[in-house]
């Protein structure tokens, strides 16, 4: 394989301009890049990154590159790549990139293979597809791999397979679903190196998952459909960090928001935030729009499709395309779906209703829009860059576990972000410090 696989290198100039545009909103990452270019904390490290190939990711790649890392970038979702950005990464920043928007599963895993062949010292994942592929190969569990990746892995000798893993000192993980998978690996004793759960940093999920997913998911649904949200019933499945953001932004657009949940605490919170809460079985009959953000499987299933109104619009913004049971809808439908607009597959059920699935059930904010705005990715990717630096310095003291981002890093990112926004805050006085650490003062 050559050292990149992208759609069209001629799109590079447009990509570079958009990367520059995003950079303006990423002051924290920019300041890290300036320091990295002097200190080179990642010098000599091969990094394989499996991330959404967006303008913000390009700025992270530039930062790691300035820090001395030798990087290969591959997509973490077949529909999330911005082809002009991939072109600019290759052409302008000399970062080998393997990502094409709309690539099929075989190409997606051919690209993951390129990341593996880079023999990384460090992995950087969004959803844990890279590390899980690495572990399945090392364990000889080829049946769990995409068939062409399995064929390649079967062709490697035992030594070559072990070699893939040998040099890895650690990794980082960007999203909730990836962290859940990694914690399951740790529990099953198959995690082979330490991984930092970037998602668990407060400066990541409080802002990226909530405000980033909230805004960009609405943006994706509107770009795909151009349907008015005001006055419509908008069903949000999952009231976690992403769900809270999405519900509040849908309400901001005038939609009547219904939340479905399985966790009583989250359901209670949604009620007190002023939303209707009900099971999906009931919400299915009412919704004009549906969007899942649970990280769970078959949240919208056959019985829900049966109850939906004619014209319902159904999307997902959770990590994998398993939240909506599209195969069940296919079975209930007459013929193949019609692509009635880009990213809108219209299914006709046997009883004559039209159900619209957006972006093939893949995360809609990246499929039909541009993903999170740069300002929140500034903090998420500052966490990635500083976690990579931390891993480079401390990997030999860490165990094969999932670690949180060190609190000092998290707080420093918040401080830098406020500073960049020109926002000042108070500091505790000596009296206050004393009072807050004492138990002696009472009524």
Q: What residues make contact with ligand NAD under the rule CB under 6 A?
A: 175-177, 205, 209, 213, 237-243, 260-263, 266, 293-296, 299, 317-319, 363, 365-366, 372
Smallest gap from residue 432 Cβ to ligand NAD (A): 33
Helix (H, G, I), strand (E, B) or coil at 370: coil
Looking at the Cβ atoms of 121 and 372, the one nearer to ligand NAD is 372
Q: Three-state secondary structure along 109-173?
A: HHHHHHHHHCCCCEEEECCCHHHHHHHHHHHCCHHHCCHHHHHHHHCCCHHHHHHHHHCCCEEEE
Smallest gap from residue 218 Cβ to ligand NAD (A): 12
Smallest gap from residue 343 Cβ to ligand NAD (A): 14
β-pair type (312-316, 256-260): unpaired
What are the respective helix, strand and coil percentages of the chain, to the nearest 5?
50, 15, 35
Q: In angstroms, rounded to a whole number, what is the distance separating the alpha carbons of residues 423 and 416?
A: 10
Which residue do the tokens 């004559």 mark?
A: 352
Q: Give the bridge partners for 233, in sequence order.
A: 256
Smallest gap from residue 296 Cβ to ligand NAD (A): 3
Smallest gap from residue 339 Cβ to ligand NAD (A): 22
Looking at the Cβ atoms of 238 and 287, the one nearer to ligand NAD is 238
Looking at the Cβ atoms of 169 and 286, the one nearer to ligand NAD is 286
**93, 38, 82: which is closest to 60 by C-alpha?**
93
Looking at the Cβ atoms of 81 and 176, the one nearer to ligand NAD is 176
Looking at the Cβ atoms of 91 and 176, the one nearer to ligand NAD is 176
For residues 89 and 113, the answer to whether their CB atoms sit within 8 Å is no
Q: In angstroms, rounded to a whole number, what is the distance separating the alpha carbons of residues 247 and 214?
A: 7
**What values do phi and psi take at 323, rounded to 5?**
-75, -30
Looking at the Cβ atoms of 165 and 242, the one nearer to ligand NAD is 242
Smallest gap from residue 280 Cβ to ligand NAD (A): 7
**319, 320, 365, 248: which is closest to 259 by C-alpha?**
248
Smallest gap from residue 321 Cβ to ligand NAD (A): 11
For residues 419 and 98, the answer to whether their CB atoms sit within 8 Å is no
Smallest gap from residue 125 Cβ to ligand NAD (A): 11
- Residue nearest ligand NAD (C-beta atom): 240
Smallest gap from residue 323 Cβ to ligand NAD (A): 8
Looking at the Cβ atoms of 70 and 370, the one nearer to ligand NAD is 370
Q: How far is CA 255 from CA 227, 234, 275, 305, in A?
A: 12, 6, 11, 21
Looking at the Cβ atoms of 146 and 200, the one nearer to ligand NAD is 200
Looking at the Cβ atoms of 5 and 174, the one nearer to ligand NAD is 174
Strand ordering across the sheet containing 70-75? 97-98, 70-75, 46-51, 122-125, 170-173, 195-197, 402-404
Which residue do the tokens 């919208």 mark?
A: 300
């Amino acid at each position: 394989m050559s050292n990149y696989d992208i759609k069209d290198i001629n799109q590079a100039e447009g990509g570079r301009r958009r990367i520059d545009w995003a950079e303006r909103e990423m002051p924290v990452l920019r300041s890290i890049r300036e320091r990295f270019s002097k200190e080179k904390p990642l010098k000599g490290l091969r990094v394989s990154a499996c991330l959404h190939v967006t303008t913000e990711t390009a700025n992270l790649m530039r930062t790691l590159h300035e820090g001395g890392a030798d990087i290969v970038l591959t997509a973490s979702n077949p529909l999330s790549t911005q082809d002009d950005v991939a072109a600019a990464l290759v052409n302008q920043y000399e970062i080998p990139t393997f990502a094409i928007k709309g690539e099929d599963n075989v190409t997606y895993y051919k690209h993951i293979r390129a990341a593996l062949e880079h023999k990384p010292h460090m992995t950087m994942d969004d959803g844990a597809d890279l590390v899980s592929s690495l572990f399945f190969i090392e364990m000889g569990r080829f049946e769990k791999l995409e068939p062409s990746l399995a064929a390649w892995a079967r062709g490697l000798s035992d030594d070559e397979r072990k070699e893939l893993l040998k040099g890895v000192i650690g990794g980082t993980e960007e999203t909730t679903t990836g962290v859940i998978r990694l914690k399951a690996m740790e529990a099953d004793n198959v995690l082979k190196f330490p991984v930092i759960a970037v998602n668990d940093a407060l400066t990541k999920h409080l802002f990226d998952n909530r405000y980033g997913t909230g805004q960009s998911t609405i943006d994706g649904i509107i770009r795909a459909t151009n349907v008015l949200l005001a006055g419509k019933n908008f069903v949000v499945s999952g009231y976690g960090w992403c769900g809270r953001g999405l519900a509040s932004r849908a309400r901001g657009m005038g939609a009547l928001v219904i939340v479905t949940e399985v966790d009583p605490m989250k359901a209670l919170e949604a009620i007190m935030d002023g939303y209707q809460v009900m099971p999906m079985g009931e919400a299915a009959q009412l919704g004009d729009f549906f969007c899942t953000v649970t990280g769970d499987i078959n949240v919208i299933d056959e019985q829900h499709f049966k109850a939906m109104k004619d014209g319902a619009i159904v999307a997902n913004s959770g990590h994998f395309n398993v939240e909506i049971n599209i195969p069940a809808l296919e079975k209930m439908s007459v013929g193949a779906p019609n692509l009635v607009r880009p990213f809108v597959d219209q299914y006709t059920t046997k009883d004559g209703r039209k159900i619209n699935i957006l972006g093939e059930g893949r995360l809609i904010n990246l499929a039909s829009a541009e993903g999170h705005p740069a300002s929140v990715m500034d903090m998420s990717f500052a966490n990635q860059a500083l976690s990579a630096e931390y891993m480079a310095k401390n990997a030999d003291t860490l165990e094969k576990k999932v670690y949180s981002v060190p609190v000092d890093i998290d707080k420093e990112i918040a401080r830098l972000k406020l500073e960049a926004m020109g926002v000042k805050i108070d500091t505790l006085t000596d009296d206050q410090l004393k009072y807050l650490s004492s138990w002696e003062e009472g009524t």
